[in-house]
Structure 1
């Protein structure tokens, strides 16, 4: 494991401490220095912890998860799709703790007057990480639909559809947890607009993911329907062949018996009469199928 990297940035009215690749020793030191709860420190170290919000007497504790995977990787669990950032904050300080590096934590292009302003900015950046996978999932569904309906459905694998549906479903649940936690955050009056903007963005993403999930379910059902239809077509073709050859096989079977008393065997034109009978039978079957619109 890499050593903990700590960055301290002083703003006009507060101090931001960012800790990357935290270890127990450095977090214990931070906890003692800022009087942080030991159980919340444990939550900060837990890789798979879900979003949560806790309000303490002197600070607030927040865990959120940003999307950090790619659709092509075939990830299907929360840990594979996302990584968390833990925040301890009050009006004087903001402490962020994370294992994975995030570009938006290193590239701040504006000055912040309050800790909650920086916090809301970082939350907004975390929310935005869910937009690229949404675009990619939507494009994949469109490509799959074109392949199934306009090209060769066999080029689409059931495994690909499974990953598509699972990734969409898990990401939507992550956003719903994200939304539930954000709804608990309390900010000052002049920051409520920024917080509401985050809530609106989350709602929009959830609705879009819900639509993509519905499309993924419909696509999976369509795939099964097309697959079943192809199987039905094969069975129909085999049934048609059987309907033609069954009576012909019956005729051949009769005249293939080795009985001595079979008058037709001595007919001079028996062979041609039998072939003619077979042709007539086939014609009758064909006309019946045509009339019933089976072929």
Structure 2
């Protein structure tokens, strides 16, 4: 679907004009939105809009890395939004000039929809211009990153609080799922941060010079998001290492108890094995009290070794 808005020389909104009318007309600027376009509608990027084939190719092939390309009389930007329900990346492309802004996206974009409605309902269109629309859409995109990061933080807190008593397999599965989501967010937010940095330091995007503080605010938000993601990734590592350490400690304690029990039974097994030999000339075998003396010796050895291990602190 293609929709258009034009701003006339008298600052009047002119919606739903054809692309040919926009190109031939005398307007302050205009906005064309390619939302979930068909193959026929994509052809408008070639004719009559005459954009560079490489930029059109980037639009057609989805999930390009966020980037900024300069062409003769316009700037092309590839950005990535995040789907709030699916936690997936969705590409939004911009063609920006002082005379127009053209947005292109294969999926429904809540950010563009909100800015479009704000423009159509605006009573003061003099404040609007293509670079301002770009800022508003980017700002909404970045703002929508935060709930996803906060959701992951809450999930990590829940995992941390409920880590005791859970099996290692279940805990590690949750942690690895969380790390996967964090990695996906980092692959989106870090390139976006670099993109906004390039926009801020661009000498060719003169249209944003009067709005540098707005774009700088977006960059600050992306820096904060990057730090939050890295902190959460470190937290997943800390939770994993702590849980593994606790389990290792518990395993070591069990092994220590088993070692103590085995060590106590070693001399008892030796005594039982020694007198289990069926040699005919063993003096103790014919002794009247031999059995009771051997049992008593085994009990004394077991008690003595248990007291000695307790004194050494092996039962703690």
TM-score, normalised to structure 1's length? 0.87
Q: What CA RMSD, in Å, does the superposition of the two structures yield over aligned residues?
A: 2.1
Distance 1:229 1:100, change over 3 A: farther
Check conservation: 2:36, 2:107, Cα contact below 8 A. Answer: yes
Find the structure with the greater CA-based Rg: 2
Q: C-alpha distance in 1, partners of 2:252/2:314?
A: 13
- Name the SS for the 1:184 alignment partner: helix
Which shows bigger deviation, 102-111 or 243-252?
102-111
The answer to whether 1:269 aligns with 2:257 is no
The answer to whether 1:33 aligns with 2:33 is no
The answer to whether 1:194 aligns with 2:214 is yes
Q: C-alpha distance in 2, partners of 1:10/1:237?
A: 81
Q: C-alpha distance in 2, partners of 1:45/1:69?
A: 23
The answer to whether 1:141 aligns with 2:156 is yes
The answer to whether 1:51 aligns with 2:62 is no
Q: C-alpha distance in 2, partners of 1:125/1:178?
A: 13
Q: Where does residue 85 of structure 1 map in the other structure?
A: 92
Check conservation: 1:69, 1:82, Cα contact below 8 A. Answer: no
Shift of 1:129: 2.1
Check conservation: 1:64, 1:85, Cα contact below 8 A. Answer: yes
Gaps of 5+ in 1: 74-79
Q: Where does residue 256 of structure 2 map in the other structure?
A: 236
Q: C-alpha distance in 2, partners of 1:100/1:236?
A: 60
For this pair of structures, how many residues does the alignment match?
282
Gaps of 5+ in 2: 12-27, 200-204
Shift of 1:155: 7.0
Alpha-carbon displacement from aligned partner over 1:111-164 (angstroms, at most 9, x marks no partner): 35101111110001111221112112111221222223x444547432221222
Check conservation: 2:35, 2:108, Cα contact below 8 A. Answer: yes
TM-score, normalised to structure 2's length? 0.82
Check conservation: 1:165, 1:217, Cα contact below 8 A. Answer: no
Shift of 1:49: 0.8
Of structures 1 and 2, the one with the larger relative CO (CA 8 A, separation 6+) is 1
Check conservation: 1:47, 1:84, Cα contact below 8 A. Answer: yes
